[in-house]
Amino acid sequence: MDSIWLLKLKLSNKFREGIENYLISKNATITSLDAENNPNELKPELYDTSAFFIKKPEKYIIKQLFLNFNIKPQEIVLKKVKIQDIYKNNSRSLDPISIGPFNFLETKNLTKFIINKNIIIPAGLGFGTGHHPSTKGILYVLTKIYLKKNINYKNIIDVGCGSGILGITMAKLWKKPIELIDIDKRSIKTSKANAKLNFVNSFIKVKKGNGLNITNEFQYDIIVMNILSNTILKNIKSIDRKLNSNGRAIIAGILNNQKYMILNKLRGLGLVLELEYVINGWVTLLIKKN
């Protein structure tokens, strides 16, 4: 896949979450950045939002933006773009962030590289630099469960690995083999490159696959999923089947108004909510299997 469809919008914070939720339900991947690029603003008033579609979105999807969200035709741009051009022209330099024991950077040139403290994730298409709330949420929860020293985690998998940021973080925390899986060839290539960049390639094993259908192990102590809510719903039975007793699943990519349908499915299988973490309307759930 060399090209992708890009829908660009400028959104106020008031309506951004509703519009993102709608586009995600139509299988878009969303990136929203502060339109004024003000690093001191925690809740920007205006966002530059990009929605990425593998196929050209149907006309009714665009029409609903006009009808339901009062978006004007001149306020959106829909075009087919080369993926390599998105990497070059649609990325913005992001400030380093600190979560738990790690500093997440775009390049080693920003600071003196400390192998046990710094994680380098060059900015790219979609989620994966650590700045999106769903990624932040998982990173926060990972550092929380790492502090539970009485728990021995052996088999660990990241489903929908993207840039590899979560697998790399887990490799640095536990210093054990981490399995990464993604359906997208570019994500697989990127994850391998980033693992090498962060000197954890000996721990990282990446493969192509869809969800938990084809994995290296029969059961896992930790399953991480940062994907869309409809895909999570499809994988809930697999999560239950693949988790060891006392194993934990960390799932994100869920908007606040989507969490109840997921929690109901989880509870129906006897999976227990251990921790809920919310950032800017995005929910991360820590689930335990008894």
Which of 171, 169, 12, 26 has its CA nearest to residue 102? 169
Read out DSSP for 200-248?
-TTTEEEEE-STTSS-SSS-EEEEEEES-HHHHHHHHHHHHHHEEEEEE
Please give the helix or strand (H or E) that residue 54 lies within, else none. Answer: none
Which part of the chain is CATH 3.30.70? Answer: 3-89
* pLDDT the model gives residue 88: 56
- The fold of 3-89 is Alpha-Beta Plaits (3.30.70)
Distance separating the N- and C-terminal Cα atoms of the chain:
42
Q: How many CB atoms lie within 10 A of CB 193?
A: 14
CA dihedral 259, 263, 265, 267 (to 10 degrees): 180
Pair of tokens at residue 55: 């196929």
Which part of the chain is CATH 3.40.50.150? Answer: 130-289
The CATH code of the domain at 130-289 is: 3.40.50.150
Distance CA 182, CA 210 (A): 6
Q: Are 242 and 220 in contact (CB under 8 A)?
A: yes
Distance CA 240, CA 232 (A): 12
* pLDDT the model gives residue 39: 43
Collapsing DSSP to helix, strand or coil, 184 comes out as: coil
Longest dimension (CA), the chain: 57
Q: Are 126 and 190 in contact (CB under 8 A)?
A: no
Query: Starting at the edge strand that comes first in sequence, how are the strands of the sheet with 3-12 ordered?
Result: 29-34, 46-53, 3-12, 76-82
The owner of tokens 């700045």 is 131
Distance CA 103, CA 97 (A): 6
Which of 287, 144, 128, 282 has its CA nearest to residue 223? 287
Distance CA 157, CA 206 (A): 10
Distance CA 191, CA 183 (A): 12
Q: Are 230 and 203 in contact (CB under 8 A)?
A: no
Chunked in runs of 10, what are the mean pLDDT values of the chain (290 residues)?
Answer: 82 80 81 62 69 88 86 86 64 73 78 80 63 88 84 90 93 95 86 92 92 89 90 90 93 88 91 91 91
* pLDDT the model gives residue 89: 56
Distance CA 207, CA 216 (A): 9
Q: Are 102 and 169 in contact (CB under 8 A)?
A: yes
Helices 185-197 + 165-174 axis angle, to 10 = 40
User: Where are the strands (E) in 140-196, listed by range?
Assistant: 156-159, 178-182
